[in-house]
Structure 1
């Protein structure tokens, strides 16, 4: 495809007039700035490098290394709650994971190796933190202000398209408990861990029983003098049946590496099972009821303590908060050197924690496993042509289009934005389809004389209305405290109204009628000088459409999807391998055959 250069400062008329001199769909130069070199940012760099020419890209990363949250989170026991062989890109397996739930260090190595393998470092500027992005009314695109964290200097950049890949579980925060600045012991946060701190033989306090706290406790319990863990609410803790922790043997890893098809079959079986879990999140389904019974039984057996069973096993549905395998956590709660304090911490004192039972608990070390700011607001000003700041627009409730764009903020794309499937099933596959969708938008921007594109406000409003209605029948609507929503009774801002497979299918094609598109000059200037791209390629067959038989790709959505999802290649019984849900031809749940 022919390229042509139009400077970023070129007027709209110049763009349109220049296109008339070249063939249709000529590729103008596109400048992209991506914020964050975690998993999403690295994938976007890979996709642009693989699929595009005539572009420039800079990825600004605040950390000294890539991999985002997997570089930052190094606390004891840190791991992913997704099976490791499926916490990879669909096209980039890793052969030598140590266990079903691998450590954060292994995951960091995976993404770091991915960046090295494909030479993505050339796009990345580490220790550079974006401080603001402002729409440039004269040039179009965004003026981006970046702080060089090594020198303190401000770097100025400009881009046609701005991509926020900063992540959602990345902006850690201290708990909002009075007096935390008074504490004179060692204060740690799981997302800002200090490896130099030795916990051996010390009395450690642990605040929180979310994913991080659940991973920390069984890891530190064997070598500290005592752990006092502060828990204010129950949560469901158990691996889904069939996905218990397992350390891979040397022979298993050898088979994965050397026997054709073994690893792919294992990954597909796990992925089918993960995708079969969506029924867990729908109230009244067999899957949710059966899973809750299984979790309740597992928790009672492992706690083996009526006091803890009464307080830690929830009375709301399984899945209202993010599920966690909790390897060894419930068993650790019953160890002799572990004390469970259930209730609220009213104040942090110089010595430790003062709780609502009136008792103060002195501590040598206080670990805050209290998570992240998950409001979805950008961590820096993003200002559009009307002077509106997205931080203000999303102050009370973040409302996006399919988790990847905001109304009235043109040429601005977001990974893992509000209401994407970050907790509905496999998340990396959702990131992949977001990247592909962004690439389709960028391709259209590059090959047409488009000046701006943004989702229509009415499309976002309709999507939010549909989402809110759908959520009424989900377990996420239960009155639990969860980062999926701002408050227990609040709107669910984190999750997609459907399964991950549902999201992938919804994102296969760009619904252009949902987008507000503005052009430089005549919208048909992309037709150019009358020549096609084919006629510019002397190696192409200029009669490619003359054939012996009809080998066209499917034109209907249904037939196309059957080709993509390899319909007919998997038996019904094999499609659901554990805790799954089977649907009839009308989409109604039928009894699963496990």
Structure 2
């Protein structure tokens, strides 16, 4: 010790005794009055009772203890887009056996591509089966949501559609499940509302209107317009279809399966015998379902410029268009787009103006009609129709004024405890959207479980993580067909806009991303500002309730390793 002391300069300080020690920062208590596994009560509000809202209801009730859940929807019934869209010919453009909840397969779809009424009935059955109406409040429109940073709560203003009155609610967590294509709009055409005939929009269809023997004009050749024209054609006296941009019509999925049952069919109707086989032989049904799913998940290469599947897809799309226009081959050259498939153009047309009796076009013609159908789409800015204010009063509209930016499509910086179903860059150019929705909701429940487990009051994605995802999207899409020069809703309606509607990768890629949240991409604030609060008070819940068990010794609870030598 003498030798060591010489190595130090200055006067040696006396060594304090145990009694003299003063622990640093022991003024704040960090032992919380809670069990280590106690899930603190959380109120979750979901906006929208469409498919995302319904699945959110089922999964949150199933997985989150101490949950207080409420789902608000402006409509008179559940179903979202499948309640709102009732135009003639309305159907899903994805095979019905893949457009369903994975946990609730429907073996009784009447056709390969299910119609809107049948899809709506399917989700009504699910809502009834899982008791969702207990949590859903219809005809309640959310007008505003404001984040309270001091109390880590969302304050929501709701408008009762029937009474016109407003009231307020609050929640720990806010989930926007309104969908990407929800806020429909009239096209900007001079004199449109001067028209004295019947004016309809595909997303707000008047089912009482009888268009039999009427002269009809359909504006738009997006997915709705393409369905409406053949849907109305058998009953109308005459129909004009106005389109400004050319568009691709994709080949039918599982073409071989359909052709075996009837050449030239675009939508196969299942026979009662086939439905009975599906109902009684689960393996036959599973094989068919997986066959269709495999085809749906195997076309990602067609979206990448120069990929062999993309080159092959171009020829396949051309042949499909020729087959569909076999009765009018002279239209092929007029309708084939210059941009590669499966890029999509927005539905617009060269209409100069509308007057009381009909439509004036750029070629100087005036065509009188009895009804005008606008299949012209939605507000694609992704900003919700209600006001949402995050930290420091920043609105989401202001945050996304330049471009809608997110973190992996589900959150954005400055808006804690706020998750978005099918937000910017969540849509799919190919693959299975329903599975993506389910994986998003799995991700949200994992985030909320972490908030309960770790005693977190505010979870907010970091700004750097949002910027990195934006950069990734821009780099990725530069090598895809979606970046081609065409006016598309994928780009917010602009020819050279950022691609803000699609996921930057395949459907299977998205499933992998949502499987494991990267907790390092978030900032946290804790209950009582105590990061150690998750540790609790030394007890577990079952101990306090005198329900101690040792089930961890049951064989099905033990992870048995495989021995090298038996």
Q: Does 1:264 align with 2:271?
A: no
Q: Does 1:428 align with 2:450?
A: no
Instruction: Provide closer, same or farther for how the CA distance between residues 52 and 343 of structure 1 changes in structure 2, counting only shifts above 3 A.
Output: closer
- Secondary structure in structure 1 of the residue aligned to 2:282: coil
Contact 1:343 1:356 in 2 (8 A): no
Instruction: Provide closer, same or farther for how the CA distance between residues 509 and 342 of structure 1 changes in structure 2, counting only shifts above 3 A.
Output: closer
Range that drifts further, 55-64 or 256-265: 256-265
State how far apart, in whole Å, the 2-side matches of 1:454 and 1:217 are.
46
Structure 2 counterpart of 1:288: 310
State how far apart, in whole Å, the 1-side matches of 2:439 and 2:207 are.
36
Question: Superposed, which structure 2 residues align to 1:480-499 within 5 Å?
Answer: 480-486=486-492, 487-499=494-506
State how far apart, in whole Å, the 2-side matches of 1:322 and 1:439 are.
36
Structure 1 counterpart of 2:221: 209
- Secondary structure in structure 2 of the residue aligned to 1:130: strand
Contact 2:296 2:430 in 1 (8 A): no
Question: Superposed, which structure 2 residues align to 1:255-334 within 5 Å?
Answer: 255-304=277-326, 305=328, 307-321=330-344
**Correspondence for 2:378 among 337, 359, 372:** 372
1:195, distance to aligned residue in structure 2 (A)? 0.9
- Secondary structure in structure 2 of the residue aligned to 1:192: coil
Instruction: Provide closer, same or farther for how the CA distance between residues 179 and 272 of structure 1 changes in structure 2, counting only shifts above 3 A.
Output: same
- Secondary structure in structure 1 of the residue aligned to 2:448: helix
State how far apart, in whole Å, the 2-side matches of 1:489 and 1:128 are.
38
**Correspondence for 2:520 among 507, 510, 513:** 513
Question: Superposed, which structure 2 residues align to 1:19-168 within 5 Å?
Answer: 20-168=32-180
Contact 2:36 2:537 in 1 (8 A): yes
Contact 1:33 1:59 in 2 (8 A): yes
Contact 2:139 2:161 in 1 (8 A): yes
TM-score by length of 1: 0.84
**Correspondence for 2:185 among 152, 160, 173:** 173
1:267, distance to aligned residue in structure 2 (A)? 1.2
Structure 2 counterpart of 1:183: 195
Instruction: Provide closer, same or farther for how the CA distance between residues 431 and 18 of structure 1 changes in structure 2, counting only shifts above 3 A.
Output: farther
Contact 2:175 2:420 in 1 (8 A): yes
- Secondary structure in structure 2 of the residue aligned to 1:107: helix
Q: Does 1:526 align with 2:534?
A: yes
State how far apart, in whole Å, the 2-side matches of 1:64 and 1:363 are.
32
Deviations 1:93-141 (A, max 9, x none): 1121111111000000011111011110010110000000011244221
State how far apart, in whole Å, the 1-side matches of 2:289 and 2:434 are.
13
Instruction: Give aligned pairs, total.
Output: 521
Instruction: Provide closer, same or farther for how the CA distance between residues 18 and 217 of structure 1 changes in structure 2, counting only shifts above 3 A.
Output: farther
Contact 1:345 1:355 in 2 (8 A): yes
1:396, distance to aligned residue in structure 2 (A)? 3.0
Instruction: Provide closer, same or farther for how the CA distance between residues 388 and 241 of structure 1 changes in structure 2, counting only shifts above 3 A.
Output: closer
Contact 2:220 2:375 in 1 (8 A): yes
Question: Larger Cα Rg: Structure 1 or Structure 2?
Answer: 2
State how far apart, in whole Å, the 1-side matches of 2:66 and 2:107 are.
35
Range that drifts further, 420-429 or 26-35: 420-429
Contact 1:421 1:500 in 2 (8 A): no
State how far apart, in whole Å, the 2-side matches of 1:543 and 1:199 are.
67
Instruction: Provide closer, same or farther for how the CA distance between residues 549 and 149 of structure 1 changes in structure 2, counting only shifts above 3 A.
Output: closer
Contact 2:244 2:348 in 1 (8 A): yes
State how far apart, in whole Å, the 2-side matches of 1:548 and 1:77 are.
52
State how far apart, in whole Å, the 2-side matches of 1:17 and 1:424 are.
54
**Structure 2: 5+ residue stretches without partners:** 1-27, 256-265
State how far apart, in whole Å, the 1-side matches of 2:443 and 2:560 are.
26
State how far apart, in whole Å, the 2-side matches of 1:212 and 1:46 are.
30
Contact 1:17 1:525 in 2 (8 A): no
Instruction: Provide closer, same or farther for how the CA distance between residues 247 and 186 of structure 1 changes in structure 2, counting only shifts above 3 A.
Output: same
Instruction: Provide closer, same or farther for how the CA distance between residues 188 and 552 of structure 1 changes in structure 2, counting only shifts above 3 A.
Output: farther
Contact 1:424 1:498 in 2 (8 A): no
Contact 1:177 1:346 in 2 (8 A): yes
Structure 2 counterpart of 1:572: none
- Secondary structure in structure 1 of the residue aligned to 2:501: coil
1:282, distance to aligned residue in structure 2 (A)? 0.9
Contact 1:142 1:161 in 2 (8 A): yes
Contact 1:424 1:496 in 2 (8 A): no
1:179, distance to aligned residue in structure 2 (A)? 1.2
1:496, distance to aligned residue in structure 2 (A)? 0.9
- Secondary structure in structure 1 of the residue aligned to 2:341: coil
Structure 2 counterpart of 1:250: 272
Deviations 1:429-488 (A, max 9, x none): 000000000001111111222121111110010111011001011110011222111211
State how far apart, in whole Å, the 1-side matches of 2:378 and 2:284 are.
38
Range that drifts further, 177-186 or 150-159: 177-186
Instruction: Provide closer, same or farther for how the CA distance between residues 196 and 549 of structure 1 changes in structure 2, counting only shifts above 3 A.
Output: closer
TM-score by length of 2: 0.88
Contact 2:176 2:420 in 1 (8 A): yes
